């Protein structure tokens, strides 16, 4: 059985990537090609449809996975946020350590949005390949005692059938990122203990259709929504007070994995410098212990933006 998913960065939007060298372990995919069949009812047809024509075509669907630090997560973050800055914290002493900071892209006037070619192996029959793929909506979510989950909702262009990739495969050998690996969890720099955390990035991409093709021709930016939710034990009124007074705050969540080199470890950090609670009441239910459910929207900070996600690993770039 040759079930697999591999992706590669495109040099130009919609032009198939030449190297699909990132192999990603996934839970499921639901990519579906929509050929844009348009049924025409003309007067001479009476009550019946007599003609079908092809109109706007695209591919949409989602990919679900438990992420690892080295392969797949960075690609999906880049396709969802659009900007990445890569540095080496210690290029001489630990040259295999790279720090990637992903932030929302403000415009595509100077550089286009990063797009990917995605190939999915279907048993031992064939593979499907989709070009022009970006992440329209990305969800990062974790429950206490469970893995971090990622759902990437894809907006893509043309789907074609291609021969199966026969290897060699190069899937990550790392364990999945787990909420037990959280080493820092703070609201306004004060420690908290999350029992649930979810972050949703919604790009609301317009469909980039232009004259000359049935398929999208470009990706343009649209209003970005950054929302989330969290559950904490109600052992302090601090967050309730913030909710009742509409006080803004920051949220930071940092995961830490195995050692890469020296004292540097694999890390994933989510930082929201400015959020406001939309929900935050505490309610009673039977004899259950008290928890507080928070929902929030991220606002743009004057110097730190809306959201910053930092991934530290052994990959040289995206």
Where are the chain's structural domains? Answer: 4-34+57-313
pLDDT computed for residue 86 by the predictor: 98
- The separation between CA 245 and the C-alpha centre of its own chain, rounded to angstroms, equals 32
Residue 265 CB partners (closer than 8 Å, separation 6+): 256, 257, 258, 259, 312
Residue ranges in the chain assigned as alpha helix (H)? 73-81, 238-245
Q: What is the Cα–Cα distance from 78 to 1, expressed in whole angstroms?
A: 30
Beta bridge pairs of residue 200: 139, 227
pLDDT computed for residue 79 by the predictor: 98
pLDDT computed for residue 220 by the predictor: 92
> Helix (H, G, I), strand (E, B), or coil: what is residue 196?
strand
> Helix (H, G, I), strand (E, B), or coil: what is residue 107?
coil
pLDDT computed for residue 1 by the predictor: 55
Give the whole-number percent of the chain exceeding pLDDT 70: 100
> Does residue 149 have a pLDDT over 60?
yes
User: Which helix (H) or strand (E) segment is 159 a member of?
Assistant: strand 159-162
Least confident of 23-27, 205-209, 276-280: 205-209
Q: With CA atoms as reference, report the closest residue to 151 among 44, 61, 244.
A: 61
> Does residue 59 have a pLDDT over 80?
yes
pLDDT computed for residue 57 by the predictor: 95
pLDDT in tens, 65-122: 999 999 999 999 999 999 999 999 999 999 999 999 999 999 988 899 999 999 999 9
pLDDT computed for residue 35 by the predictor: 94
> Helix (H, G, I), strand (E, B), or coil: what is residue 186?
strand
Beta bridge pairs of residue 182: 255
pLDDT computed for residue 46 by the predictor: 84
pLDDT in tens, 192-213: 999 999 999 999 999 889 999 9
> Helix (H, G, I), strand (E, B), or coil: what is residue 59?
strand
pLDDT computed for residue 40 by the predictor: 86
Q: Find out whether the peptide bond into 5 is cis, omega within 30 degrees of 0.
A: no
Q: pLDDT-derived band of residue 41, with 50, 70 and 90 as boundaries?
A: confident
**CA quadruple 201, 202, 206, 209: dihedral positive or negative?**
positive
Q: With CA atoms as reference, report the closest residue to 179 among 151, 142, 232, 149.
A: 142
Q: Which residues of 199-211 are buried (b: 16+ CB within 10 A; e: fewer)?
A: bbbbbebeebbee
Pairing of strands 126-143, 194-202: antiparallel
Query: What does the mean pLDDT of the chain come to?
Result: 95
Kindly report the pTM of this predicted structure: 0.94
For the CA atoms of the chain, what is the radius of gyration?
Answer: 22
Cα 91 to Cα 69, 260, 266, distances in angstroms: 20, 13, 16
Residue 126 CB partners (closer than 8 Å, separation 6+): 161, 162, 163, 164
Looking at residues 225-234, what average pLDDT do you find?
A: 96
Looking at residues 304-312, what average pLDDT do you find?
A: 97
Q: For residues 55 and 36, is the Cβ–Cβ distance under 8 A?
A: yes
pLDDT computed for residue 255 by the predictor: 98
Give the whole-number percent of the chain exceeding pLDDT 90: 90
């Amino acid at each position: 059985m040759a079930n697999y998913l591999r992706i590669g960065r495109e040099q130009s939007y919609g032009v198939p990537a030449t190297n699909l060298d990132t192999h990603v372990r996934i839970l499921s995919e639901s990519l579906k090609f929509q050929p844009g069949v348009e049924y025409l009812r003309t007067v001479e047809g009476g009550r019946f449809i007599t003609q079908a024509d092809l109109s706007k075509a695209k591919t949409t669907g989602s990919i679900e996975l438990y992420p690892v630090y080295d392969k797949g997560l960075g690609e999906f973050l880049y396709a969802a946020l659009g900007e990445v800055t890569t540095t080496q914290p210690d290029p001489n002493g630990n040259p295999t350590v790279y720090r990637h900071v992903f932030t929302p892209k403000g415009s595509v006037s100077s550089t286009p949005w990063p797009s990917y070619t995605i190939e999915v192996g279907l048993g031992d029959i064939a593979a499907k390949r989709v070009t022009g793929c970006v992440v329209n909506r990305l969800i990062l979510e974790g429950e206490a005692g469970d893995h971090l989950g990622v759902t990437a909702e894809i907006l893509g262009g043309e789907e074609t059938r291609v021969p199966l990739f026969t290897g060699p495969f190069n899937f990550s050998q790392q364990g999945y990122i787990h909420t037990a690996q959280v080493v820092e969890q703070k609201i306004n720099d004060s420690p908290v203990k999350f029992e649930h955390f979810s972050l949703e990035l919604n790009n609301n991409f317009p469909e980039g259709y232009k004259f000359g093709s049935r398929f999208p021709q470009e990706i343009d930016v649209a209003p970005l929504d950054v929302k989330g939710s969290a559950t904490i034990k109600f052992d302090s009124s601090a967050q309730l007070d913030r909710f009742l007074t509409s006080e803004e705050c920051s949220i930071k969540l940092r995961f830490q994995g195995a050692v890469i080199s020296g004292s540097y470890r694999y890390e994933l950090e989510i930082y929201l410098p400015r959020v406001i609670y939309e929900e935050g009441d505490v309610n009673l239910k039977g004899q259950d212990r008290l928890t507080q459910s928070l929902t929030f929207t991220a606002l743009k900070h004057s110097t730190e933006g809306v959201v910053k996600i930092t991934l530290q690993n052994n990959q040289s770039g995206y």
